[in-house]
Amino acid sequence: MTAAARAGAEEEVQARLPDVGSLAAALDDVDYLADPGLATALFLAVRLPQPLLLEGEPGVGKTEAAKALARVLDTPLYRLQCFEGIDAAEALYEWNHPRQLLGIRLAEARGAPLDEDDLFGPEYLLRRPLLQAIEHPGPRPAVLLLDEIDRADAEFEAFTFEVLAEAAVTVPELGTIRAAHPPVVVLTSNRTRDLHDALTRRCLYHWIDYPSPDRVAEIVRRRVPGSAEPLAVDAASAVTRLRSLDMVKPPGIAEVIDWVSALSILGVTRLDPPAVEATWGSVLKNRDDQELARTRGAAWLAAEG
Amino acid sequence: MVQPPIAPGPLAVGLTTALHRAGLPTTPERAAGLARALQLVPPRDRAALYWTCRIALLTDRAQLPVFDAVFSAVFDGMLDPADSRGDPTAPPSIGSEPRTRPVPPDARPSSPGTAEGTPGSGGGDDGADGVEREVLLAAASTEERLRSTSFADLTAEELGTVRDLVRRLVLSTPERRSRRTRPSRRAGDRLDLRRTVRAAQRTGGDPARLVHAHRRTQPRRLVLLCDVSGSMEAYTRVYLTLLQGAVAGARAEAFVFSTRLTRLTRQLSLRDPDQALARAGATASDWAGGTRLAHGVGRLVADHGRRGLARGAVVVVLSDGWAQDDPDDVADAMRRLRRLAHRIVWVNPRRAAPGYAPLVGGMAAALPYCDAFVSGHSLAALEQVVAAVRESAPSRGSPRAREG
């Protein structure tokens, strides 16, 4: 429905993102390195437009992808972190009840007449991310990130999709609010439960793989500006080596960034065994994993790749 | 550059059809989506075509190998091989792989008590009045006998009856407090401001009645992990029915393993049990293979459990513990699972054998991490499984496994 109801993206967006290459370059400019697959996925999500479901290991940059896309489009990012029991009041809107009560008391004290409409006006409405994204005035659509949609209940998932398909919200007291610029929707999932068919059917799908060591090194150089060039390469290949072990929590890109930041602060420029010994904790955050890696030794990890 | 310009429509339909034949759930809707996507991203080279097709058509990472194989089979003959960058090592005919589930050897010798013949499954009512009572009695005693017969000793007909009975078992897990609330007037709960103000509107804005929010409870998630290796074959026939009933009834998550782990939740969630079992059989291709217990549990934890699937869940492992893996690896995997799960129930049909002691490497290593250890080899024993799953308080303390 989403795709059928909206024939293509708006002209301004089309002009900004004429093809996949220009999106990849624009993402690069905001320091997000997207491989051709992810760039194609984001491009289609914006231009078709159709919601995009991103999956991948924790820490491969699913959330970052949505943030970078918002920066490229130069629009706000509205993020809804899903959790069990999330409902419309937390996702869509809620009336500001304390303020309403205060309004009643104030009107009483002043002896001013008070209409019910006064209490249910826009100024008493608390806007939650879904409504904010729909109300976004433009000129370009906002980016709406539904993070970890699998944590919400199935009913909430269905409700969200209805709202997005219509790109309109009805607040009984105010009437229907229709989106002038339907948001670009990015969903992420950790696959703790099977998502509903209706959702997967409407979404584009992309699995983000853990990137190659070269690319990790490049990402680290962008994210930790002060770090020494060889250090990023060393750390990236060391983490690739760690990932070959049977880890409880294999270190991701976030851990490489943490690690290189820590090493830079310590003034390290090349990864050597003493530096590894001092910083186990910034790359391996589980005791079993640390023990496993220690049996291989710091020298193994620091070995020139 | 591609020599003949390809029209997006026919290309999308052609690829979708090929994928459908290979068993991927593709729809005309997705084909239409691909056609539109191809207009936006012209397929200049193989990579561009590959990513556009993959993003528009797939809905799950598990579909990737089949997709890659079909894509390569369809396009690699057509395009300039110079700009080929996919993996040519992908097996070309994944869809046509033989996936027959080995037929369980049903022609087993009947147990000594089968002399009276088949259970009274049909035709009891239309018989003559005189024999009706006897038939009923026979049926009752058959069921009684079936209750205590080991699943390994069932004949084909008895198996059908037992499966029907197993299907009626209800697995229910203990409850936990959920994030959702319901209104309550008990003062001990948190004040629900939203509902209080709603109620106050009826009394002229005066919050005369306070509404509190009471946390609802919800049953814990149930995760079933069934060993389908060769040594378990006699029991798997019945356990799969148990899995199917739990998935359809209690929204459980079901996994099977022998040499690798397969998630069967989706396949087993069909209402029609026979159809569900057939689909499950077609999905897991390593039935009756070897047992890699540590690998199976390890993958369950790494790929699913840690992401939240096993957190606070009741995990039931159905296995005889005869593993090829190193017992230390089994212990490692079980320790990881133990940290996530609320309770671990181990069902081992061999436990019922006289003089059984959990000395097999894998079983001995896993036992310290289990909250309950039951046999589940017959209908009567399966009721112990039901009880073990329902039990709420995990026996935290030194002797983790109880012989019960």
Tokens of A232: 């990023």
* Span B148-157, average pLDDT: 77
Q: At what angle do helices B46-57 and B64-75 cross, to 10 degrees?
A: 140
Q: Answer whether B41 sits within 8 Å of A192, measured CB to CB.
A: no
* Span B367-395, average pLDDT: 81
Chain A nearest CA to B332, separation (Å) = 9
Nearest chain A residue to B310 by CA: give it.
A192
The three-class DSSP label of residue B217 is strand
Strand partners, A305: none
Long-range Cβ contacts of A21-25 (<8 Å, 24+ apart): A23/A72
Residue B117's pLDDT band (boundaries 50, 70, 90)?
very low
Please write the tens of the pLDDT for every residue from A14-29.
888 888 999 999 999 9
Q: Nearest to residue B347, comparing CAs of B230, B227, B201, B251?
A: B227
Chain B nearest CA to A190, separation (Å) = 6
**DSSP string covering B276-315:** HHHHHHHH---TT----HHHHHHHIIIIIGGGTTSTT-EE
Q: Nearest to residue B316, comparing CAs of B396, B256, B397, B368?
A: B256
pLDDT at B399: 41
* Span A171-197, average pLDDT: 85
Which residues in chain B touch residue A43, judged by CB atoms under 8 angstroms apart?
A: 40-41
Q: Answer whether A101 sits within 8 Å of B207, measured CB to CB.
A: yes
For the cut 70, the answer to whether the pLDDT of residue B223 exceeds it is: yes
What is the C-alpha R_g of chain B? 27
Complex ipTM = 0.73
Tokens of B142: 């058959």
Please write the tens of the pLDDT for every residue from A30-62.
988 888 999 999 999 999 888 999 998 877 888
CB atoms near residue B148 (< 10 Å): 12
Residue B134's pLDDT band (boundaries 50, 70, 90)?
low
Listed by number, the residues of chain A in 246-305 with a beta carbon closer than 8 Å to a beta carbon of chain B are 246, 248-249, 288
Q: Answer whether B40 sits within 8 Å of A98, measured CB to CB.
A: no
The dihedral through the CA atoms of A296, A299, A300, A301 has a sign that is positive
Tokens of B92: 């070309």
**Helices and strands (H, E) in chain A, number of each type:** 18, 9
Q: Nearest to residue B56, comparing CAs of B7, B11, B2, B6?
A: B11
The three-class DSSP label of residue B178 is strand
Strand partners, A184: A143
Q: Are B277 and B240 in contact (CB under 8 A)?
A: yes
Residue B225's pLDDT band (boundaries 50, 70, 90)?
very high
Please write the tens of the pLDDT for every residue from B51-109.
999 999 888 888 888 888 888 888 876 654 444 344 443 333 333 334 444 444 443 34
The dihedral through the CA atoms of B3, B4, B7, B10 has a sign that is negative
From residue A86, give the alpha-carbon distance in Å to each of A90, A94, A128, A168, B75. Answer: 6, 13, 12, 20, 45
Which residues in chain B touch residue A3, judged by CB atoms under 8 angstroms apart?
A: 33, 36
Strand partners, B301: none
pLDDT at B77: 66
Q: Answer whether A41 sits within 8 Å of B51, measured CB to CB.
A: yes
CB atoms near residue B98 (< 10 Å): 5
* Span B199-203, average pLDDT: 73
Listed by number, the residues of chain A in 156-195 with a beta carbon closer than 8 Å to a beta carbon of chain B are 190-194
* Span B256-285, average pLDDT: 78
Output the average pLDDT for chain A: 86
Which among B29, B41, B197 has the least Cβ separation from residue A40? B41
For the cut 90, the answer to whether the pLDDT of residue A188 exceeds it is: yes
Output the average pLDDT for chain B: 74
Q: Which residues contact B316 (CB under 8 A, 6 or more apart)?
A: B222, B223, B224, B225, B344, B345, B346, B347, B385, B389
Which residues in chain B touch residue A201, judged by CB atoms under 8 angstroms apart?
A: 27, 29-30, 59
pLDDT at B279: 76
β A93-95/B212-219 pair status: unpaired
pLDDT at A3: 39
**Highest mean pLDDT range out of A71-75, A121-125, B186-190, B302-306?**
A71-75
Please write the tens of the pLDDT for every residue from B275-320.
777 777 777 666 667 788 888 898 888 888 877 788 888 999 998 8
Residue B205's pLDDT band (boundaries 50, 70, 90)?
low
Q: Answer whether B205 sits within 8 Å of A55, measured CB to CB.
A: no
Residue B114's pLDDT band (boundaries 50, 70, 90)?
very low
Q: At what angle do helices A62-73 and A36-47 cross, to 10 degrees?
A: 50
From residue B360, give the alpha-carbon distance in Å to each of B256, B291, B321, B348, B355. Answer: 21, 13, 7, 12, 13
- Give CA–CA dist A129/B49, Å, rounded: 35
Which among B52, B61, B302 has the least Cβ separation from residue A40? B52
Which residues in chain B touch residue A205, judged by CB atoms under 8 angstroms apart?
A: 55, 58-60
Instruction: Give all strands (DSSP E) within B135-242, no chain letters.
Output: 175-184, 190-191, 212-219, 222-227
For the cut 90, the answer to whether the pLDDT of residue A190 exceeds it is: no
**Highest mean pLDDT range out of A126-140, A161-175, B145-159, B185-199?**
A126-140
Q: Are A27 and A46 in contact (CB under 8 A)?
A: no
Residue B264's pLDDT band (boundaries 50, 70, 90)?
confident
Q: Nearest to residue B173, comparing CAs of B394, B318, B396, B389?
A: B389
Q: Which residues contact B379 (CB under 8 A, 6 or more apart)?
A: B146, B147, B148, B149, B162, B165, B166
For the cut 80, the answer to whether the pLDDT of residue A219 exceeds it is: yes
Nearest chain B residue to A3 by CA: give it.
B33
For the cut 90, the answer to whether the pLDDT of residue A76 exceeds it is: yes
pLDDT at A25: 93
Question: Is pLDDT larger for residue B179 or for residue B258?
Answer: B258
Chain A nearest CA to B59, separation (Å) = 6
The three-class DSSP label of residue A269 is coil
Q: Does A22 touch chain B (CB under 8 A)?
A: no
Q: Answer whether B307 sits within 8 Å of A204, measured CB to CB.
A: no
pLDDT at A49: 86
Please write the tens of the pLDDT for every residue from B16-49.
888 888 878 788 888 888 998 988 888 888 888 8
pLDDT at B109: 40
A:B CB pairs within 8 Å: 100
Q: Are A305 and A241 in contact (CB under 8 A)?
A: yes
Task: Say which DSSP state B352 is in.
Answer: G
Tokens of B152: 């390994």
For the cut 80, the answer to whether the pLDDT of residue B197 exceeds it is: no
Q: Are B327 and B361 in contact (CB under 8 A)?
A: yes
Burial of residue A67 (number of CB atoms within 10 Å: 0-12, 13-18, 19+): middle
pLDDT at B231: 81
CB atoms near residue A21 (< 10 Å): 14
Chain B nearest CA to A147, separation (Å) = 14
What is the C-alpha R_g of chain A? 24
For the cut 60, the answer to whether the pLDDT of residue B139 exceeds it is: no
- Give CA–CA dist A19/A15, Å, rounded: 9
pLDDT at B126: 43
* Chain B residues bordering chain A (beta-carbon distance below 8 Å): 27, 29-30, 33, 36-37, 40-41, 47-48, 51-52, 54-56, 58-61, 64, 178-180, 193-194, 196-197, 200, 205, 207, 253, 265-266, 298, 302, 304, 306-309, 332, 336
* Residues in chain B, overall count: 404
